[in-house]
Amino acid sequence: MLEIRDLFCGYGGEDVLKGVSLTVKAGDFFCIAGPNGCGKSTLLKAAARLLPFRGSITISGRETASFSRKELACRIALLSQRAELYFPYTVYDTAAMGRYARTASRFGGLRKADRDVLHGVLEALELEGIRDELISELSGGQLQRVFLARTLVQEPEIILLDEPTNHLDLKHQLALMDYLAEWVQAGGRAVIAVLHDLNMALRYGTAKALMSNGTIYAAGRTKAVFAADALQQVYGMDIKGFMVQSLKNWSDP
């Protein structure tokens, strides 16, 4: 579905990504982990064609460079870590912006089919009850769900998520990840999510990648990608030992 081959990309003439290659298949919930600064966010931006790159990125065999912006928006969407607030739109109007790529013209109104999609997403993300509130008055967790709603109503084939559970309490983290897992299973779709929470990556990732210093340290479809020795090498600490010790803290005294 999405093929990345020998990808180099960076900022100010300096490469952050150095020969990255990945294959994401339809039905994948692909989770990417790694320490800060290893290139995870840069990889997502390159895949969304927000940064120039060297190498090849294809969707269903077609180079992303050959898509118009509107065509590409119907195939792939990115929810970044920092969504900016420019105007105090309502929750409904903000989410509705995601339908632009599906409308016939810039000034075309929403059709019934568009409104149905929008309503379904707002309901699924528990936003229907606050649809008329201004986004400038929302909590960080609510705002994150609004921007995710805008991404979902775009109805892309591939969703790129950069720390999607940021600002969410545990209940809403699990609800969000469950929803995305179900969304993937609808057919012909994939999610690529950058996650710092390795527990979430292990729980939901049907495929995983571990990044280090702009390269792919390990990738695959088993838990072995996050093997204790690999995590030790990449993070410079005993991640598994820390997790096991933390779990013991929940044991009955």
Q: Is residue 23 part of a domain?
A: yes
Is 28 in the same domain as 121?
A: no
Residues 234 and 120: their CA atoms lie apart, in Å, by 40
The whole-angstrom separation of Cα 208 and Cα 200 is 11
Domain presence at residue 195: yes
Q: What pLDDT is recorded for position 131?
A: 93
Distance CA(58)–CA(3), nearest Å, equals 5
- How is the chain split among helix, strand and coil, in percent rounded to 5? 40, 25, 35
Report yes or no on 164 lying in a domain: yes
Flag whether 34 is in a domain: yes
Residues 58 and 175 placed together within one structural domain of the fold = yes
Quick one: pLDDT at residue 107?
56
Q: What is the pLDDT of residue 66?
A: 93
Of 155, 176, 191, the residue at which a domain comes to its end is 155
My answer on whether 209 and 88 are in the same domain is no
Backbone angles phi, psi at 166, to 5 degrees: -55, 135
Give pLDDT, residue 85: 60
What pLDDT sits at residue 200?
Answer: 93
The residue assigned the tokens 């870590």 is 81
Full residue range of the structural domain in which residue 113 is found: 84-155
Give 161's contacts (C-beta < 8 A, 6+ positions apart). 44, 78, 79, 148, 180, 191, 192, 193, 194
**Total domains present in the chain:** 2
H or E element at residue 19: strand 14-24
Is the domain of 167 the same as that of 211? yes
Tens of pLDDT, residue by residue over 123-168, are 988 899 999 999 988 888 888 889 889 999 888 999 999 998 877 8
**Intervals of the chain under pLDDT 50:** none
The verdict on 58 and 161 lying in the same domain is yes
DSSP 8-state code for residue 62: E
Contact 103, 110 (CB under 8 A): yes
Tell me if 213 is assigned to some domain: yes
Q: Is residue 243 in a domain?
A: no
Helices assigned H by DSSP within the chain: 40-47, 69-73, 91-96, 112-124, 140-152, 170-184, 198-204, 228-235, 239-248
Partners of 76 in beta bridges: 158
Helix (H, G, I), strand (E, B) or coil at 230: helix
Per-residue pLDDT, 74:
86
Final residue belonging to a domain, choices 139, 155, 171? 155
Q: Are residues 112 and 126 in the same domain?
A: yes
DSSP 128-157: GGGTTSBGGGS-HHHHHHHHHHHHHTT--S
101 in a domain, yes or no?
Answer: yes
Does any domain span residue 30?
yes
222 and 161, same domain (yes or no): yes
